[in-house]
Amino acid sequence: MINWNQFTVDNGAITDLRELLFLTVYDDPDIDLTVTTKTGVTNGQKLGYINDLGDVGEKGGGCDPTYTSVNITGIQKEWELGGWEIPKEICYEDLENTIAESSLNTGTDIAYLQDTPYWDIVLMPLLEKAIREMFWRIVWFGDKDAKNIADGGILKAGIKPSLFTMCDGLWKRLQAIIAANPKQQTKIAANTATETVSSTDTVTYAAQKNGLLMPGTAIKIFDTLLSDADSRIFDDSKAAIFCTTSMFKALRTDIVERYGKTTMPFENVGAGITLSEYDGRPIYAIDIWDRMIAKYEDNGTALNCPHRAIVCSPENLFVGTNDKDKIANLSISFNDKDRKNYIYASSKIGTLVGEDALVQVAI
């Protein structure tokens, strides 16, 4: 899981794993900030809401009024779960002649890696981080039809589609909602901004960035996003604006340029997430969205919709798992016959948007 060849053995710089520094390691925020997790869900299980009784109160007709039946309408969604797994094996020989060698046991126990500095200080923290990122990737970017760019999809060359195909994530579900009801989309022109390259108008990284930073652009997007959103969204106290960091930074720049020294107050409520307020509404900048778009949805010239925002409540965006807990337990074992250490975890996961009308998407 670690390319130890990147580190030189006995070069005087690193002699103990405890001295190894992890540079630019992001501590990703709890995904439950943006969604509501349902545990113990089964495939095909229904998620339902009572929605409406319809209009009541008509002109009076005197004696013998006409009675009509009560007709309560509702919304019903069905969970569709897909399986994920984490199978890893580690042999102690992979760590010999590396800086990790000093952390190994000796003699007969050399192959047993658990409770060594390598296991406790390096492997487990990195695995925990990878699992957190896995949930962000599946929940928000999952797509059962995911394909690489060469095959007609949006995934960067070299990215495995199997990292995404266990279930449809929330971005795909939101795209389906705005395709069915375009009024729920606030368009961001910068996502498809072009510049002339070799006499051809081409969407590029620079055009996408500069298009959002044009004076007044970000303010207009956020104002339109809020004005277009269903007013019932903010009946929920947890409702907020969730956006990429690119959107948030552009909004702050716009406000500074428009109002001089006045800027948006903000606080880092966790590494990788920024909380602020705009027009009386909470706004969360989710940095991991920017990073995953850049990591997975890059065609070599431009990114796939690098600027995104949603007005909604986390209580209307659902993640379901068949486990009792949000994250499945890890099975950790050592095989005395082949002298290898094994890590395994698996579960099922799916996503749902509760009430389609209670989201407004800027993309």
For residue 252, the model assigns a pLDDT of 94
Q: What whole-number distance in Å separates Cα of residue 42 and Cα of residue 48?
A: 14
Report residues of the chain scoring pLDDT below 50: 24-26
**pLDDT, position 208:** 98
For helices 245-259 and 205-212, what crossing angle results, to 10°?
Answer: 40
For residues 326 and 131, give the distance between their C-alpha atoms in angstroms, rounded to a whole number. Answer: 12
Nearest-angstrom CA–CA distance, 153 and 117: 42
pLDDT tens-digit series, residues 135-169: 999 999 999 999 999 999 999 999 999 999 999 99
114 vs 98: CA distance, rounded Å: 18
Give the DSSP letter string of 121-168.
IIIHHHHHHHHHHHHHHHHHH--TT--BGGGTSSBPTT--GGGTTTS-
Residue 134 has a pLDDT of 94
Token pair of 252 as six digits? 């702050």
- What pLDDT, on a 0 to 100 scale, did the predictor assign at position 86? 95
pLDDT at 24: 45
